Amino acid sequence: MNKVLFHDKGLIDYKVCWDLQETYFKTIVDRKISNRDLPIENQIQTQSHLIFCEHPHVFTLGKSGDEQNLLANEEQLKEIDATYYKINRGGDITYHGPGQLVGYPILDLDNFFTDIHRYLRVLEEIIILTIAEYGIKGDRYPGYTGVWLDPSDPKKARKICAMGVRSSRWVTMHGWAMNVNSDLSYFSKIVPCGITDKAVTSMEKELGHPVDMDEVKEKLKRHFEAQFECSLVNEPTLV
C-alpha cells in the first residue's frame, strides 16, 4: 500500500505554503527523472504528500483566469487585510481564508493512476463523502469542477468546495478549498471561479452552526485513504 506523508500546517501564509508545495513537487519530479537512468532494482520510490492548512485572507488567480474577476483594487485589498497572487494551477479566481480547510495533495500519480480527470473526480468524491456524514448532500455540476449543493436547480446551486490542480510528469500540486466555517463575505470581492450566476456556501451556513475543524480533518483523511488506497503517515516531529 502506498504511504503518503501527511502534514497539518494549521494557519500558514499562502506564499510560504506554495513554496513548500513547490519543494515537494520538485523533489518528486527530480527523483522520477533520475530514476529513468537507473535499472529498476536501483530506482528509489517517490514520496507523495498531503498538506492540510488554512490561510490568512488571500485571493488566487489560476493560469486560465481573468484578472477582471477580482473586484477589489490594491487599496481595497489592504482594507480587508487580504493578499492576491497569480499562480500556476488551472482554474480561475478563488478565495482562501480562516475557517476554510485547504487540501494540497502532492502525489506521484504513477503510483496511483495516470488520469487527471479521474483524479479530480476522486478529490470531489472525498469531499462529497465527508460532508454526507453531516447530512449535507454534495454533488457534481456538469461542466464545472468542485462540489456543489443542489446543482440540478440553477436558482439554488451553490458551491461548497472549489478545486484547481497542476500536474506535470504525473505529479500533482494545489488541490481543494472546502468552506467549513468560512467568512463568505470575502467572496463578494471576486467572481468565484469566473462563475457569475452561482452562489457559494459553507458547512456552517448549511448546518446553522460552526463545525469542529479537527473532526472534519479526520473524516477527510479517512476518505482520502480509502479513495486512493493509501496510508497517511504523519510528518515526523522535529525535536
Domain ranges of the chain: 2-234
pLDDT score, position 234 = 93
Amino acid at 229: E
CATH 3.30.930.10 fits 2-234, yes or no: yes
Model confidence pTM above 0.85:
yes
Distance CA 189, CA 34 (A): 45
Collapse the DSSP code of 40 into the 3-class scheme (helix H, G, I; strand E, B; otherwise coil) and give the result: helix
| Full DSSP string of 84-145 | EEE-SSSSSEEEE-TTEEEEEEE-BGGGS---HHHHHHHHHHHHHHHHHTTT---B--TT--
Contact by Cβ (8 Å): 93, 191: yes
Q: What is the pLDDT of residues 118-167, one digit of tens each?
A: 999 999 999 999 999 999 999 999 888 999 999 999 889 999 999 989 99
Q: Is 230 a catalytic residue?
A: no
The more confident residue out of 235 and 157 is 157
Q: What is the pLDDT of residues 65-103, one digit of tens each?
A: 788 888 888 888 888 889 998 887 877 888 999 999 999
CB atoms within 10 A of CB 133: 12
pLDDT score, position 63 = 79
Mean pLDDT for the stretch of residues 185-210 = 84
The more confident residue out of 186 and 192 is 186
Amino acid at 238: L
- β-strands 158-168, 147-149: how paired? antiparallel
Residue 194 has pLDDT above 70, yes or no: no
Q: What is the pLDDT of residues 15-72, one digit of tens each?
A: 999 999 999 999 999 999 999 888 988 899 999 999 999 999 999 888 777 888 888 8
Active-site residue among 17, 161, 193, 230? 193
